[in-house]
Amino acid sequence: MAAPEIPKEQWAQVVEAKGGPVVYKKIPVQTPGPDEVLVNVKYSGVCHTDLHAMMGDWPIAPKLPLVGGHEGAGVVVAKGSLVDDVQIGDHVGIKWLNGSCLACSFCMQADEPLCSHALLSGYTVDGSFQQYAIAKAAHVARIPKDVDLEAVSPVLCAGITVYKGLKESGARPGQWVAIVGAGGGLGSMAVQYAKAMGLHVIGIDSGEEKGESVKSLGATAYVDFTTSKDLVAEVKAATPDGLGPHAVLLLAVSEKPFQQATEYVRSRGTVICIGLPANAYLKAPVFDTVLRMITIKGSYVGNRQDTQEALDFFSRGLVKVPYKTVGLSKLQEVYDLMHQGKIVGRYVVDTSK
Ligand SMILES: [Zn+2]
Ligand SMILES: [Zn+2]
């Protein structure tokens, strides 16, 4: 295969100061290091984390200036001298975990998201809101050639994250899981992964529009927290024996649902925290947590194996991502909608526009 032509300059969305906005401008194309690949990003999903990165409201400060984005799907156009298992022309994904040391005790046990040397796309290194992005070859997601790069891009963070959370919950086929924030970008995928894994789903979110969407994706029950008179009772009542779901997946971006989940999870059940409301705390009654043997866990993205499994569910047609595509040049408008909480499903940016 002839080497693809790589331009010297490219379009990118750059955060130049904490709080934004993003600036759409031309920046130089970088050259990959020995263990890296250069990816011609075709599409990139937009994640809530990207908004936090621009606002700088998380405890760890992102780099500045910053090119955000960590759901980039594209084609390898150049590779470093040490890269053997990824070829030019391969379809790959740039995910949140851009790279890790591969040698620490976490990396050795496939817990690479916990690596203290981890490089984070669109946070500590430039991400996928540009036409040509760099990632460590060991960590790029391998995307089969027959998979649509536009449709698959949101799987690269949202899909992997919710799939991993469901694995961490330990919920088994036939059991019940409550998904809080089921109508959002993460939630709509979580509902489908859960269903594909043989779980019954109770979706929790606000409004009728989200309720329709959640049910159409396969949830057995929907609880609207804005109209429910007793959320805890309603969630428990949605399970056939009234004892509540075996697991709760917290994808919400506000604090309150994090305080409620232990009240309706079944005894012996597991609460999985995934959403990251800024400055939020978890609170649970010790008495209940002990006597009802409740497990509360965090779950953070996924490792390379989780990535390939999450992609496999997608490529078998078990997970469809509702998304809207806009040009990369319109990224700020997507952030504005996100800020107002007006997003149903997911936004994808097309880097050619
Ligand atoms: Zn993300
Ligand atoms: Zn490591």
Give the closest residue to 93 by CA, choosing from 66, 112, 69, 115. Answer: 69
Tokens matching residue 108: 């050795």
Is the omega angle on the peptide bond into residue 65 within 30 degrees of 0, that is, cis?
yes
Give me the count of residues in the chain: 353
Residue 341 region by backbone torsions, left for phi larger than 0, else alpha for psi between -120 and 50, else beta: left
Report DSSP letters for 54-117, one per residue. HHT-SSSPPPSSEE--S-EEEEEEEE-TT--SS-TT-EEEE-SEEE--S-SHHHHTT-GGG-TT
Residue 8: count other Cβ atoms within 10 Å of its Cβ: 7
Ligand nearest to the backbone CA of 128: 1
Ligand nearest to the backbone CA of 104: 2
Q: How far is the CA of 5 from the centre of ligand 1 (A)?
A: 30
Q: How far is the CA of 122 from the centre of ligand 1 (A)?
A: 10
Ligand nearest to the backbone CA of 300: 1
Residue 133 neighbours by CB under 8 Å, 6+ apart: 38, 39, 41, 67, 69, 72, 74, 94, 121, 126, 127
Identify whether the C-beta of residue 330 lies closer than 8 Å to the C-beta of residue 200: no
**For the chain, domain boundaries:** 9-157+302-350, 159-298
Ligand nearest to the backbone CA of 114: 2
Cα distance from N-terminal residue to C-terminal residue, the chain: 27
The β-bridge relationship of strands 176-180 and 247-250 is: parallel
For residues 299 and 88, give the distance between their C-alpha atoms in angstroms, rounded to a whole number.
33
Average pLDDT, consecutive stretches of 10 residues, N- to C-terminus, the chain (353 residues): 85 95 97 98 94 88 96 98 97 97 97 96 97 98 97 95 98 98 90 97 94 94 95 97 98 87 97 88 93 97 97 96 93 92 82 95
Ligand nearest to the backbone CA of 47: 1
Q: How far is the CA of 160 from the centre of ligand 1 (A)?
A: 9
Give the closest residue to 47 by CA, choosing from 123, 105, 109, 108. Answer: 123
Ligand nearest to the backbone CA of 302: 1
Q: How far is the CA of 101 from the centre of ligand 2 (A)?
A: 4
Ligand nearest to the backbone CA of 115: 2
Position 345 scores a pLDDT of 67
pTM summary value: 0.93
Residue 317 region by backbone torsions, left for phi larger than 0, else alpha for psi between -120 and 50, else beta: left
How many alpha carbons lie under 13 Å from residue 309 in its C-beta half-sphere?
17
Q: How far is the CA of 233 from the centre of ligand 2 (A)?
A: 44
Give the closest residue to 266 by CA, choosing from 231, 295, 298. Answer: 295
Q: How far is the CA of 110 from the centre of ligand 2 (A)?
A: 9
Q: How far is the CA of 105 from the centre of ligand 2 (A)?
A: 7
Identify whether the C-beta of residue 273 lies closer than 8 Å to the C-beta of residue 282: yes
Ligand nearest to the backbone CA of 110: 2
Ligand nearest to the backbone CA of 139: 2
Ligand nearest to the backbone CA of 48: 1
Position 1 scores a pLDDT of 57
Position 338 scores a pLDDT of 87
Q: How far is the CA of 219 from the centre of ligand 1 (A)?
A: 23
Position 346 scores a pLDDT of 83
For residues 110 and 164, give the distance between their C-alpha atoms in angstroms, rounded to a whole number.
13
Tokens matching residue 139: 């960590």
User: Domain 9-157+302-350 in CATH: superfamily?
Assistant: Medium-chain alcohol dehydrogenases, catalytic domain (3.90.180.10)
CATH for 159-298 is 3.40.50.720
The β-bridge relationship of strands 270-273 and 247-250 is: parallel
Q: How far is the CA of 84 from the centre of ligand 2 (A)?
A: 21
